[in-house]
Structure 1
Amino acid sequence: MGSASGLEVGTRWSRSPGRSPARRLDDTDEIHLERLYKPVFVMKPSSIKCSEGQTARFDLKVVGRPMPDTYWFHDGKRIISEGILFIVIKEDGTQSLIIVPAVPKDSGEWTVVAQNRAGRTSVSVALSVEGMFCGETEEHHSEAGNFGGVGCQSHWKPPTRHSLAEEQ
C-alpha cells in the first residue's frame, strides 16, 4: 500500500521537533551555497620602535571568504588613509599601513580589525616613536634639601597634512 507522500501506510515515521528531513542536494542547489570562512591573519603585523622622522610600517595578510574588509584604529580611534597615513593593498593580498614621517604622537596601540559576514578578528601592536632632542645638557648643582631641575629642548616640526579634498 502506498500513499501520496511515498510512505507505506502503517509505517512509523518519527520526526524530531524542530528538524526537517534531510534531502540530497542536486547540482543547482550546490551553486546557491556559499561557503563562508571567518577572517584569519596569515601574516600578522609586529610592534615597531623607530625614531621621529622615520617611516613606520605595519604589514599583514588576512584571508577569509568573502574577502574581509580591514579597519585600523589608533588608541581606540578609527583612522582613515589620508595625510601621513597610507594604507596600501598589494595584488597578493598583503596590506601595509605606512606612517610617513612617524612622530611621537603616533606612539601607542595600533589595532587592525578584519571583518566579513562569517566573523571578525583583530590584532593589536605597539608603535613607539622616540622624539629627537637637540641641545647640550647643562650641569646643575643644588644643595641638599633644595630642589634642582633638569631642562631639555625638543625640535619638532609638524608634518604637512594633505587631504584629497585639497588636491581636487
Structure 2
Amino acid sequence: MQRWHQRGSRRCSRFLQISYLCLTISLAAPVFLTELQTQDVPDGYPVSFDCVVIGKPAPAVKWYKDGKLLEENDHYMINEDQEGCHQLIITSVLPSDMGVYRCTAENSSGITATKAELRVDGQIHRGLHLHCYKQGRAVYLHSSPGGGSQYV
C-alpha cells in the first residue's frame, strides 16, 4: 500500500504470511474379525465368549445380556488386549445365565455388533468346583477334585 503526502512521499508495505498444515487422518469403522459363537455349557462350569474387533480409532467395546449392559464383577470377567481381542468370561454358569449375549464396538466412524446364545445344560455336577483367577491377561481355571488345571 502506498500513501502520498503533500510534503513528499511515504511508502508503507505490509506482508501477509499464510501457513497451511495438512493432516491425513485415517478412520475406519469397527469390524469384527472373529464373532461370538453360540455355546452349550453345563451348569456350574465357566464359559468364555471371545471376539476380535478392529477399527480406527480403536473402538469402545461393551457387553450385554438380553439387552442389559454387563459390568465386571465376581460373576462376569471382561478382558481385552491391544490387538483387539475381547473376552467375556462367566466364572460359573447358572441357569439364569441362559440368553443372548451381544458385544458392541463403537468409534467415531460407526458401530457394529456380534451376538451369540448361551444355553445351559441343567445337569448338576456334584463334587466339581471351578475357580477362576484373573492374572494379567490370562485366566487361570482350577478344578477339583481329581481335575486338572489349565490356562485359558
The aligned residue for residue 34 of structure 1 is 25
The aligned residue for residue 113 of structure 2 is 122
Q: Structure 2: any 5+ residue segments left out of the alignment?
A: 1-18, 127-152
Partners of 1:133 and 1:99 lie apart in 2 by 17
CA-to-aligned-CA distance 1:4-43 (integer Å, 9 cap, x gap): xxxxxxxxxxxxxxxxxxxxxx9830xx331210000011
Larger strand percent: 2
Paired-residue identity, %: 28
The aligned residue for residue 147 of structure 2 is none
Matched, 1:45 2:6: no
User: Aligned pair count?
Assistant: 108
Q: In structure 1, the residue corresponding to 2:88 is in which secondary structure?
A: strand
The aligned residue for residue 56 of structure 2 is 65
How many Å apart are 1:89 and its aligned residue? Answer: 1.1
TM-score for the superposition, normalised by structure 1: 0.60
Q: Structure 1: any 5+ residue segments left out of the alignment?
A: 1-25, 135-154, 156-168
Partners of 2:75 and 2:102 lie apart in 1 by 17
How many Å apart are 1:95 and its aligned residue? Answer: 1.2
Q: Which amino acid aligns with 1:51?
A: P
Partners of 2:124 and 2:38 lie apart in 1 by 23
Partners of 2:76 and 2:44 lie apart in 1 by 13
Partners of 1:57 and 1:121 lie apart in 2 by 20
**Closer, same or farther in 2 for the Cα pair 1:40/1:27, shift >3 Å?**
farther
The aligned residue for residue 6 of structure 2 is none
Partners of 1:57 and 1:27 lie apart in 2 by 51
Bigger mean CA deviation after superposition, 83-92 or 58-67: 83-92
Matched, 1:81 2:72: yes
